[in-house]
Amino acid sequence: MPDLLALPKTELHLHIEGTLEPEMVFALAERNGISLPFDSVDELRERLEFTDLQSFLDLYFACSIVLRTRADFADLARAYLARAHAQGVRHVEMFFDPQAHTSRGVAVDTVIDGLRDALAEANLEWGITGGLILCFLRDLPVEKALETLESVAHRAGDLVGVGLDSTEVGYPPELFERVYRRARELGLHAVAHAGEEGGPEYVWPALEVLGIERLDHGIRSLEDPALVEALRERQIPLTVCPLSTVRLRGVDTMVEHPLPRMLDAGLLVTVNSDDPSYFGGYIGDNYVAVQQAFDFDLSTMVMLAGNSVTASFASDERKAELR
Ligand code: ES4
Ligand code: ZN
């Protein structure tokens, strides 16, 4: 098997706050005079063991408080983009969680400006293309999501789309119908996390009420044959994150991951990293993990990389270059 890190690829499911490495947590805390609920990098590393989605999210939001300035967000994204470049990424559509920052008094423009600084540099330096997907925290009130969207309406051109993340069970997608209608008016693409911990009943409304163009995770869709058929027939891409699902205990081990069954069902599956500093690997590491678990041949790995190009919101011209 050739080096899968070198295989050109596109990343479609990546939370930029989930690339915050423990060393950077401490460096930014010191730079900003913030005290942390852990004493050392090693103590933080010891906490990177999760029982479910919520146990991860608690740590993810606890670490995100070190991000305050435009330079912090630029440094975070620069570090991610350097690692992504080293693992073959040529196009990335990056999630960010503005409400995790605005709730602490950080302006949304500070977040967007910093992330865009790093994306512009990576474009100049390495030719990496892509953009930002603004995610709403689904466990906060819908009114807060609407306020967040209106606060960036004047610069919708700086965004690729909107998404929905954080705690899933108890917060069904249809709550966000008005938010997604407004996002569409602003010309934004629409994706959502669904079917990660929630069952197929959380995926259907993401498709039918929110009108998503791409489904994040979606692994529990397999439990409903009619849903699988809808996803297959419409060729809705699924952004699967194998190491994430293992680390959040969606499956016990990688060999039990449903990815091969999803491919057999004719779904448009892509491989992504989700929160690489928390889940033990960047995108190339996810490619290596699935190749090893399922003994996939090179043509399957190339097909997965090609699916990510198809599933992206890049222009047709850029897609042709990425293939
Ligand atoms: C997330 Cl893995 C995952 N699921 C839902 N929301 C998230 N935010 C960051 N990572
Ligand atoms: Zn995610």
Cβ of 18 closer than 6 Å to ligand 1, yes or no, is yes
Q: Answer yes or no: is 169 within a domain.
A: yes
Q: Answer yes or no: is 50 within a domain.
A: no
Q: Answer yes or no: is 61 within a domain.
A: no
Q: pLDDT band at 30, cuts 50/70/90?
A: very high
- pLDDT value of residue 137: 99
- For 148-172, what is the mean pLDDT? 98
Q: pLDDT band at 230, cuts 50/70/90?
A: very high
| pLDDT, averaged across the chain | 98
Question: Which residues fall within 8 angstroms of residue 40, CB to CB, at 6 or more apart?
Answer: 26
Q: pLDDT band at 155, cuts 50/70/90?
A: very high
Cβ of 64 closer than 6 Å to ligand 1, yes or no, is no
What is the extent of the structural domain holding 250? 12-21+70-322
Q: Answer yes or no: is 32 within a domain.
A: no
**What string of H, E and C letters represents the secondary structure of the chain?**
CCCCCCCCEEECCEEHHHHCCHHHHHHHHHHHCCCCCCCCHHHHHHCCCCCCHHHHHHHHHHHHCCCCCHHHHHHHHHHHHHHHHHCCEEEEEEEECCHHHHCCCCCHHHHHHHHHHHHHHHHHHHCCEEEEEEEEECCCCHHHHHHHHHHCHHHHHHCCEEEEECCCCCCCHHHHHHHHHHHHHCCCEEEEEECCCCCHHHHHHHHHCCCCCEEEECHHHHHCHHHHHHHHHHCCEEEECHHHHHHCCCCCCHHHCCHHHHHHCCCEEEECCECHHHHCCCHHHHHHHHHHHHCCCHHHHHHHHHHHHHHCCCCHHHHHHHC
- pLDDT value of residue 275: 99
- For 157-182, what is the mean pLDDT? 98
Contact between 148 and 99 under an 8 Å Cβ cutoff? The reply is yes
Phi first, then psi: what are they for 121, rounded to 5°?
-65, -40
Q: Answer yes or no: is 183 within a domain.
A: yes
- pLDDT value of residue 168: 98
- For 124-142, what is the mean pLDDT? 98
CATH number, domain containing residue 225: 3.20.20.140
Q: pLDDT band at 171, cuts 50/70/90?
A: very high
As annotated, the binding site includes: 13, 15, 193, 274-275
Q: Which of 51, 57, 164 gets mutated to test ligand 1 (max ligand atoms within 8 A of its CB)?
A: 57
- For 24-34, what is the mean pLDDT? 98
- pLDDT value of residue 37: 94
Which ligand 1 atom is nearest residue 196's CA?
4
- For 116-129, what is the mean pLDDT? 99
Which of 259, 262, 287 is CA-nearest to residue 272? 287
Ligand 2 mean position, distance from CA 298 (Å): 26
Give the residue numbers annotated as catalytic, written as ranges. 196
Q: Which of 241, 275, 277 gets mutated to test ligand 1 (max ligand atoms within 8 A of its CB)?
A: 275
User: Domains in the chain: how many in total?
Assistant: 1
Q: Answer yes or no: is 34 within a domain.
A: no
pTM over 0.90: yes
The tens digit of pLDDT for each residue in 276-289 reads 999 999 999 999 99
Q: Answer yes or no: is 49 within a domain.
A: no
- pLDDT value of residue 17: 99
Q: Answer yes or no: is 6 within a domain.
A: no
Q: Specify the amino acid at residue 301.
A: M
- pLDDT value of residue 243: 99
